[in-house]
Amino acid sequence: MALIIKKPNGTRDVVPSQINKWQTVEKLAADTAQAFGFKEIRIPTFEETGLFNRSVGDTTDVVQKEMYKVSAKSRDNGKDDEEYNLRPEGTAGTVRAVLENGLLNEALPQKLFYILSCFRHERPQANRLREFHQFGVEMFGSSSPAADADVICLAKTLLGRAGLKNIKLYINSIGCPGCRAKYYKVLREFLSARENELCDTCKSRLEKNPMRVLDCKSPICGEIAKDAPKIVDYLCDDCKAHFEGLKANLAAMDIKYEINPKIVRGLDYYTRTVFEFVSEDIGSQGTVCGGGRYDGLVEQLGGAPTPALGFAMGLERFISVMEAEGCDFISPKRCDLYIASMGEAASRKAVELAYKLRLEGYYVEYDVMNRGIKPQMKYSNKLNSIFTMVLGDNELETAAAKLKCMDSGEQLDIALDDKFVDNFSNALVAEMFKAEDMSL
């Protein structure tokens, strides 16, 4: 086959045989968020460019190098083309939506979650894509470190419910703009002494955003960063107390962590708490979840000063780690009943009975390929059907058929009358109980 058009570099198709993995993490994420009182929000895929420049920050890699533009011809003659950006992350759009819909006028804290696609023009590699998916949560209104611990606990609970055992939590505090000004001075002095060893990107970061050097993925910068002064040593009293509060809350929940001064996050809006959950099982792109506090962002986007915090979890990486650790995924749904048929009248009966069952929500299939009984049964086996039923002239005449349980080989008589749906439902429930007994 000569494929004429292929998918864009750095994107993925999720084929049906893999979809159960996505359904597993999406369901676990939504259930866990709801258990912590977070409600779902959905936001547009593209937003005005200014939103990302103002929030994510125009000195960040994400904004400088990784954003996708979308443009469309203006529909008003003479007006400029419209230009937007595909979202590189979910926080900026969520904060915009929170303000635009007045969600901060509701009872606080306002707690939201989302599952969405993000777009970044990065160099594609394992676990680094150009279109990827995030599960994220955002909480608005609380400046208490109890909120930071709550959000970290949510992420930890989700990873635990997925069956992951090998994930480490790293925390740090990057203080408020006040402590950062003092820290930048010391850090700049330290880094300037080794300026010519830094990578080109970090040389340019030195002036505007020296903390980003600590997060640089180049080995030389990493080496230099090891001996750099640590921001936790330069926190003001309030930020220090906040960080101590977070540690106490984590200890109260028995959540283990390591303080990692190199965690500074790649986006500009963070203040105080920053954290990451990292796996060592999927190679170098092992950060599954990153988050922190962004107390200044709501005001920066035009709202009243409102403390806020959140995290985003990369779902592709989450699934990769689950695979690496051998975690369970929801099994694909089995076909409840396959109705095989011989002859035209029987095939019409199959259609009628299948329709009645499907109206009640059962997963039922019948032949649409004009195949003989043997290939129909083979297909039913592929569907891993729980029951099969064969309809032919005899069954139509007697208005009765045999329901065959595919696991045990047992056969039950079933009347093809107006009790058919109820009787099938009872047979299926009985079968489910048996299967459950066996698995105990």
Q: Which two structure tokens, joined as six digits, stand for 41?
A: 């929000």
Q: Which of 314, 319, 329, 339 lies at the binding interface for ligand ATP (CB under 6 A)? A: 314
Question: Which residue(s) pair with 366 in the sheet?
Answer: 339
Could you say which of 54, 55, 86, 89 contacts ligand ATP (CB under 6 A)?
89
Contact region with ligand ATP (CB under 6 A), list: 185-193, 288-296, 338-346, 420-428: 288-296
- C-alpha angle with apex 165: 282 to 312, nearest 5 degrees? 65
User: How far apart are alpha carbons 309 and 136 in whole angstroms?
Assistant: 11
- How does DSSP assign 235-277, residue by residue? --HHHHHHHHHHHHHHHHTT---EE-TT---SSTT-EEEEEEE
Least Å distance between CB 134 and ligand ATP?
5
> Should residue 275 be labelled a site residue for ligand ATP when binding is judged by CB under 6 A?
no
Min CB(215)–ligand ATP separation in Å: 7
Based on CB atoms, which residue is closest to ligand ATP, 134 or 273?
134
- Under 8 Å between Cβ of 297 and 269: yes
Q: Where are the alpha helices (DSSP H) in 168-216?
A: 177-192, 200-208
Q: For ligand ATP, which residue of 163, 222, 245, 266 counts as binding (CB under 6 A)?
A: 266
**Nearest to ligand ATP of 271, 388 (CB atom):** 271
Q: Are 133 and 118 in contact (CB under 8 A)?
A: yes
Give least dist CB 127 to ligand ATP, A.
6
Neighbouring residues of 347: CB distance < 8 A, sequence distance ≥ 6: 341, 366, 367, 391
Q: Which residue is nearest to ligand ATP (CB)?
A: 314
How crowded is residue 208: how many other Cβ atoms within 10 Å of its Cβ? 11
Of residues 24, 32, 273, 285, which one binds ligand ATP by CB under 6 A?
A: 285
Indicate the residue among 320 and 388 with the shorter CB distance to ligand ATP: 320
**From the list 57, 90, 290, 307, which residue makes contact with ligand ATP (rule: CB under 6 A)?**
290
Write down the least CB distance from residue 316 to ligand ATP, Å.
Answer: 5
Round to whole Å and give the CA distance between 394 and 374. 18
Report how far residue 276's alpha carbon sits from residue 393's, in angstroms, rounded to the nearest whole number.
65
Q: List the one residue from 132, 294, 366, 424 that touches ligand ATP (CB under 6 A).
A: 132
Distance in Å, CB of 269 to ligand ATP, minimum: 11
Q: Which of 420, 382, 428, 379 is nearest to 401 (CA)?
A: 420
* Between 129 and 149, CB nearer to ligand ATP: 129
Q: How far is the CB of 285 from ligand ATP (least distance, A)?
A: 6
CB 149 within 8 A of CB 250: yes
Closest C-alpha among 308, 199, 214 to residue 263: 214
Least distance from C-beta 338 to ligand ATP, angstroms? 39
Nearer to ligand ATP, 268 or 336 (CB): 268
Tell me how far, at minimum, the Cβ of 70 lies from ligand ATP, in Å: 18
Binding segment for ligand ATP (CB under 6 A), chosen from 47-55, 151-159, 176-184, 313-321, is 313-321
The count of other CB atoms within 10 Å of the CB of residue 354 is 18
Residues that bind ligand ATP (CB under 6 A): 89, 120, 122, 127-129, 132, 134, 266-267, 285, 287-290, 312, 314, 316-317
